[in-house]
Amino acid sequence: MVMKCLVAYDGSELSRKALEQAMYQNHDGAPIEVHIVTVVSPNGPYTNPGLYQSIENSLMEKAKAELDSTVEEIQDIYNVTINIEVLTGNPGNSIAKYAKENDIEMIIIGSRGLGNIRGFFLGSVSHRVVQQADCQVMIVK
């Protein structure tokens, strides 16, 4: 049976540690499917929908490029199936929803992300995920 694991990734050191922890879940050689998920959420009071969409698209493209680069590094080392996804909206809600929709068995997330500056994980995302997830949640510190 394939274990499905989600890693909440924002490029921070703790999210990289969360990704490493996901690779350790494959220690016994059992198949594992890792979903690396990044959530982008443009900040600011945007009154122009076109401007908001443009900023969101730019953030999504940048996040996708970073995830693609990260996946290349991992696949050279580990023999796991990797899916990447860039989501929009509230990070905690989006991660929990994605996990439910994709039958994820474990979410691995850093205790803190990059914060408001990069526009990724805002607020106490790990706390929200723990509260909303229907599966195991591992918080990496």
Q: What pLDDT, in 10s, does the model give residues 32-43? A: 899 999 999 877
55: enclosing H helix or E strand: helix 49-77
Judge whether residue 15 has pLDDT over 50.
yes
If you ran DSSP here, which 8-state letter would residue 8 be given? E
Please check whether residue 35 is in contact with residue 5, taking contact to mean a CB–CB distance below 8 angstroms: yes
The residue-averaged pLDDT of 103-132 equals: 74
Give SS3 for 138: strand
Max CA pair span of the chain: 52
Please check whether residue 86 is in contact with residue 63, taking contact to mean a CB–CB distance below 8 angstroms: yes
Q: How many helices (H) and strands (E) does the chain have?
A: 4, 5
Which pLDDT value is given to residue 120?
Answer: 44
Which residue do the tokens 């922890």 mark? Answer: 21
* % the chain with pLDDT above 90: 41
Measure the N-to-C terminal CA separation of the chain; round to a whole number of Å: 29
β partners of residue 34: 5, 82
Question: C-alpha distances in angstroms, 106 versus 13, 72, 129, 135?
Answer: 20, 23, 11, 6
Q: What is the pTM of this model?
A: 0.84
Which domains, and CATH codes, for the chain?
Answer: 7-11+22-140 (3.40.50.620)
The one-letter amino acid code at 38 reads T
